[in-house]
Structure 1
Amino acid sequence: MSLKVLMMRKKLTEKKNALETLRSKDADFEKREKELESAVEELNEESTEEEKTAVQEEVDKFDKEKEDHEQSKQDLESEIKDIEKEIEDAEKNQPKPNPEPTPEGTERSHGGIENMNVRTKMFGTVQERSILFQREDVKKFITNVRTAMKEKRAINNVGLTVPDVLLPMIRQVVEENSKLYKHVLVRPLKGKARQNIMGDMPEGIWTEMVGALNELDLQFYDTEFDGYKVGGFVAIPNSYLEDSDEDLAAIIVEALGKAIGTALDKAIVFGTGIKMPLGIVTRLAQTAQPDDYSATARHWKDLHTSNIVTGTGATGLNLFKEIITNKSVTFNKYSKGSVVWLMNEITHNKLIAESIGANMNAAIVAGMQNTMPVVGGTIEELDFIPDNVIVFGHMDCYTLVERAGSKLDSSEHARFIEEQTVFKGSARYDGKPVIDEAFGVMSIDTNAPVTSSTFIGDKANDATLQDLTVAGTQITGFDPDKYVYEYTAAAGKAKVDAVATQDSAKVTMKFDNKKINNGADITIAADKVLEVKVNKGMSEMTYKVTFKVSG
C-alpha cells in the first residue's frame, strides 16, 4: 500500500469520526425542535409583540443551525464516498511487485513480504498489506503500543524498536516533511564511519594519440561521522485504540516522520555539531579550526569573512546584482547542481516584490515555480531562518548520515484528562558540509547575517552560568541570558571565577585566546577578551567579556 493510500485511509477515519460526532447531535436538534413547537403553540392573541418576536427569532436561529448541521453531514458523507472511491481506484491501479527469485536452498522469510523501495512503496499491494500485519514483529509492535495506551504504563524499560519493515514508511514521511532531505546527500551507515572525500578535481592532460598517459594528481580525505539521536514526545489520543492496526501504524509513522523531518532541517542549517549534525551556517561562522578536527580531513579554511556577506541595503535591480555577485562565493569543482536558496517566507516575498522592478517576467515565473527571481535556483522556505537572511549553496555538498533503526517509548504516565498517551520517538543522524566552500550566507539589508539559532526542547541539558566574577566582584550587568559584556577594571592581575547553574555542567575558559583554568589569575589589559564556555549535554553557551582599563 502506497503512502498516499495510507494517508487517505487515515483521512477517511477522521471524516467518519467527524460524521459520527455530527450525528450524535441529531437528538439535541429534535429536542430543541419540540421545545420550539411548544413555545409556538403557547402564543395567542394575548401574547405581546415582544414575545412573538422572541419566539420568531429563536425559530429562525434554529432553522439556520439545523440547515447548516444537515449540510455539514451531507458534505461529509459526500467526502467519505469520494475518498472511498479514490482508495478503491488507487488500490486497483497499484502494480504487482515482481518478486526476486529465491536462491536454491533458502526460504523466503517474513511470509513473503519484502522491504519496498523507499520512494515508491510502503506496505505493497492490498494482499501484501494483509500479510504484513500478520508478521510477528509487526503484530508484537502494534500489540505493545495498544497495551501501553490501555494500561497507561510504559512499554518497557528499554523502549520498543520499530520493526525494520516499517522504517521505509517513516523515512518517506521524513522526506516529505523535511524540505532539505531531498537536496542533501543521504548515506545510510552503521556505527561510526568515515566517508572518503575527493580533493580538488584534477584536469586531464592532452597528449599524442600514441603517447604515454600522465599521472593525475588525485587526493582523498576522510570525514568522520557519528550518530546522534533526534526525537520528541508525541501525544496519541486513546480513541485510536478502536482503529485498525493500519490506522494506528499510520498515526505513529506520521508523528515520527514529521518530528524528525522538522528537526533535521534546522540541524542542517544551524546545527551546533555538539551531539547533533554540524550546520552549514555554524561551519561558515567558525573563526578557528576546531580542536577535534580530524588530521585526515580536508584542509580547514576560514570562511567567516569570504562566505558570510553583509548586504548594502540595495533594492530592485541592484539587489539582484548583489545576489549574483554573492552567489559566486560558492563556486567549487565538486557540485554540478544548481544553487538552493533557503530563507523564510517574509524574505521570499520581499525578493519577489523587489524583482518586479527588475524583471516582471522573472517575478511571475519565480512566483509560479518557487525559484529565485532573476538569478534562478530552487527556494525553500524555512521559518527558523531570520528575516532578510539567505542561506545558499550546493546542497549535494552536505552529507547526512542516516543510522539504522528507530525506537518508540511510551511515557510512565498517560494524560488522563485529555485521554491521551504520550509516546517518544527517536532516530539517529549525523551530518556536516563536506565541501565547506560550497555554501554561503548573506543578508539583504545592512545588518550582519545571524549565524546561530536556539534549539528548544532540551531543558534537561540547558547550560548557563549562575555567576561570573573578576577579583571577587560580579561583572556589571551580569545575566545568565546575556552573553557579551564590556567590563572596566584596573590593569593588573585578578582572579576570575565562573559558576555553572547546573551541577553537572562543565566550564572551560580562554583568556587572550589561551586556555586557563576556572579560578585562575589573569592579567587585565585593554581589549583583552575572556571567553567562558559552559557545556551540558547538547547545550553549549559562550560568554565573552572584553576588558577596558580604568584610569
Structure 2
Amino acid sequence: MLRQLLLGKKIEQRKNALAELLIEEEKIQTRSAELEAAANEASTDEELAVVEEEVTKLETQKGELEEKKSKLQGEIEALEGELEQLNAKDPTGEHRSAQHQKRGGAEMPKEYHISQVRKMLETGEYYNLTEVREFYDKFKNLRAVSSGELTIPNVIINRILDIVGDFTTLYPRVDKIRVQGTARILIDTDTAPATWMEMKAPIPVGDVGTITNVDFDGFKLGKITFVDNYLLQDSIINLDDYVVRKIARALAKALDLSILKGTGAANKQPDGIIPKIPSGNKKSVEADAKLLVNLLKQVSLVDTGDDSFGEIVAVMKRQTYYNRLLEYTINVNDEGNVVGKLPNLTKPDLCGLPVVFNQNMDVDQVIFGVLDQYTMVIREDITIDQSEHVKFVEDQMAFRGKGRFDGKPVRPEAFALVTITEPANP
C-alpha cells in the first residue's frame, strides 16, 4: 500500500509538471502566430532578420519543450504501468489506477469531484486529461461521430455544474443529488424527541407512517448556442472555456426559474417552490410604517422552534428590497445624517436574516424558507450535438447542449410566501 501511495504521488508531481509545459506550449503557439503576422508585415531585410532571429529562438524553445514533454509522458506511462501491476495484485480490490476504475469488468473513465476539477484547472492538469482532449477532438469533428451526438464526460459535466453556480443565486443553495434514470427518495418526517427509559427497556419506534416517498423524473433541458468556426480550430483552453460557460449560463437561468416557479410533471419540468407552498403559508402585509415588523413576523410560519433544520433566508427581487425595505436598514437623524450602519448591498440582510436576490421573483413578493429543503436531481448524462446549416452564412456552427433535471420541495411547509400590498389607509 505504501508503494502505491508513493507511485501515486510521483504520478501527480509529473502530471503537474506536464500541465505547466502545456501552458507554456499554448504561449509558444501564440508567439508563433505573432511571428507569422510579423513576417507577413516585414518590408525590409532588417525587419526580416529580426523576425528570423526570433523564429530561431522559438524553434529552440519548442524543441526543448517537446523533449521535456516526451520525457514526462514516458515517466508517467511507466509509473502508471507499475501502479496497475500493483493494483492487480491487491487482494482487497480497494486501490484503483490513476487513470481508470473497473466496473463490471469494463474499464471506465475516472470520475472527478467538483473540488478536484477546480484544483486541476488551477494547475492546468485538466486540459491534459485524456477524456477532455478526446471530447474536444470529437467536438471539433462532430459530423464524424456516430449519430452526431456526444456524451459529455464526467469531468466536463462537473465543470459545467460548478460554473452554473456562478450565474445563479438559488441553485448553489438547494440540495443536489446525482442519479441515473428516475429516483425515489425516502424522507422521514418524524421529528419527535428521543424517549427516556430504563437501561434494558426496548427503544420505542417513531410514529408509524412517517416515511414519505418522493419520486423524481428526468426532464430534458436544452439550449442551442453558436460557435464561430474559427474558434473550433483554436486551442482547447479557449474552446473549453467558451463552450462550457455558454452551456452553464443557459442551464443556470432555466434552473433558477424552475426552482421558484416550475409547474411540474404535467409541463415536463420540476416542481417549483411557489406553486407547492401550502395555502396557510401564504400571507400579505401592508406597506405601512410597520412593514418590516409585520414582514418579519411571517418567519414564524417556517421557524416554529419545533425543529431546527437549516438556515432561513429571504428571497426577493432587487426592486422589492430597494423600494420597500432599504430605508429600514439605514438610520438617519433629523438632519439627514446617517447614524446607523449602511446596508451591505453585496450581502444584504433584514435584521440579520440573509437576503437572496433573484430576478425571477415577482415585485413585492418575498419567500422565507430553508432552501436546502428543495432537492434538485441531476441525471448523470449531458449530451451535445451540432448543426452546420443554421448559420451557414455567418460561418457559425450551432451546438445544442441537453441535460436532464428534476426537482421539488421535499418539505413544502419549510417555505412561506409573503406579498407586500399598498396600505388600505395611506
Deviation at 1:223, TM superposition (A): 0.7
Match of 1:280 among 273, 295, 300: 273
Which residue of 1 is the match for residue 418 of structure 2? 442
Deviation at 1:191, TM superposition (A): 1.4
Which residue of 1 is the match for residue 140 of structure 2? 146
**Distance in 1 (alpha carbons) for counterparts of 2:418 and 2:317:** 13
Q: Percent identity?
A: 26
Query: Which secondary structure does the structure 2 equivalent of 1:426 belong to?
Result: strand
Deviation at 1:381, TM superposition (A): 1.5
Match of 1:121 among 92, 117, 124: 117
| CA shift in 2, pair 1:314/1:127, >3 Å | closer
Which residue of 1 is the match for residue 45 of structure 2? none
Is 1:265 matched up with 2:251?
no
Query: Which secondary structure does the structure 1 equivalent of 2:173 belong to?
Result: coil
**Distance in 2 (alpha carbons) for counterparts of 1:103 and 1:335:** 46
| CA shift in 2, pair 1:362/1:252, >3 Å | farther
Residues 294-313 of structure 1 aligned to structure 2 (within 5 Å):
303-304=278-279, 306-313=280-287
TM-score by length of 2: 0.68
Which residue of 1 is the match for residue 374 of structure 2? 398
**Distance in 1 (alpha carbons) for counterparts of 2:225 and 2:283:** 39
Higher share of residues assigned helix:
2
Residues 62-73 of structure 1 aligned to structure 2 (within 5 Å):
none
TM-score by length of 1: 0.53
May I ask how many residue pairs the two structures share in their alignment?
333
Larger Rg: 1
Deviation at 1:279, TM superposition (A): 0.2
Deviation at 1:387, TM superposition (A): 1.5
Match of 1:167 among 121, 133, 157: 157
2:216 partner letter: F
Which residue of 2 is the match for residue 476 of structure 1? none
Contact 1:203 1:216 in 2 (8 A): no
**Distance in 2 (alpha carbons) for counterparts of 1:334 and 1:424:** 45
2:168 partner letter: S
1:105-138 superposed Cα distances (whole Å, 9 cap, x missing partner):
4773747984433135347274744641xx2x44
Deviation at 1:158, TM superposition (A): 5.2
Match of 2:312 among 339, 349, 352: 339
| CA shift in 2, pair 1:416/1:127, >3 Å | closer
Residues 347-496 of structure 1 aligned to structure 2 (within 5 Å):
347-350=320-323, 351-356=325-330, 364=342, 366-367=343-344, 370-374=347-351, 376-446=352-422
**Distance in 2 (alpha carbons) for counterparts of 1:279 and 1:324:** 23
| CA shift in 2, pair 1:235/1:261, >3 Å | same
Which residue of 2 is the match for residue 292 of structure 1? none
**Distance in 2 (alpha carbons) for counterparts of 1:164 and 1:208:** 52
Match of 1:187 among 170, 173, 177: 177
Answer with 325-334 or 389-398: which moved more: 325-334
**Distance in 1 (alpha carbons) for counterparts of 2:345 and 2:416:** 25
Deviation at 1:407, TM superposition (A): 0.7
Contact 1:116 1:123 in 2 (8 A): no
2:165 partner letter: E
Query: Which secondary structure does the structure 1 equivalent of 2:259 belong to?
Result: helix
Contact 2:285 2:295 in 1 (8 A): no
Is 1:104 matched up with 2:93?
no
**Distance in 1 (alpha carbons) for counterparts of 2:222 and 2:184:** 24
Answer with 428-437 or 351-360: which moved more: 351-360
Contact 1:352 1:367 in 2 (8 A): no
**Distance in 2 (alpha carbons) for counterparts of 1:109 and 1:268:** 38
Contact 2:370 2:415 in 1 (8 A): yes
Deviation at 1:391, TM superposition (A): 2.0
Deviation at 1:394, TM superposition (A): 0.7
Which residue of 2 is the match for residue 74 of structure 1? none
**Distance in 2 (alpha carbons) for counterparts of 1:378 and 1:275:** 32
Match of 1:314 among 288, 301, 313: 288
> Which one has more relative contact order, counting CA pairs under 8 Å at least 6 apart?
2
Query: Which secondary structure does the structure 1 equivalent of 2:416 belong to?
Result: strand
Unmatched tracts of structure 1, length 5 or more: 28-98, 285-302, 448-551
Contact 1:405 1:427 in 2 (8 A): yes
Query: Which secondary structure does the structure 2 equivalent of 1:121 belong to?
Result: helix
Which residue of 1 is the match for residue 196 of structure 2? 206
2:112 partner letter: M
2:321 partner letter: H
Deviation at 1:251, TM superposition (A): 1.4
1:388 partner letter: D
Contact 1:230 1:427 in 2 (8 A): yes
1:401-454 superposed Cα distances (whole Å, 9 cap, x missing partner):
11101111112514234332121111111110110111011122249xxxxxxx
Deviation at 1:220, TM superposition (A): 1.1
Match of 1:237 among 228, 231, 255: 228
Answer with 273-282 or 405-414: which moved more: 405-414
Query: Which secondary structure does the structure 2 equivalent of 1:413 belong to?
Result: strand
1:162-193 superposed Cα distances (whole Å, 9 cap, x missing partner):
12232111111112222112211111111111
Deviation at 1:255, TM superposition (A): 1.2
RMSD: 3.7
| CA shift in 2, pair 1:195/1:183, >3 Å | same
Deviation at 1:356, TM superposition (A): 2.4
Unmatched tracts of structure 2, length 5 or more: 1-14, 42-79, 102-108
2:114 partner letter: V
**Distance in 2 (alpha carbons) for counterparts of 1:207 and 1:108:** 51
Deviation at 1:322, TM superposition (A): 1.1
**Distance in 1 (alpha carbons) for counterparts of 2:165 and 2:150:** 23
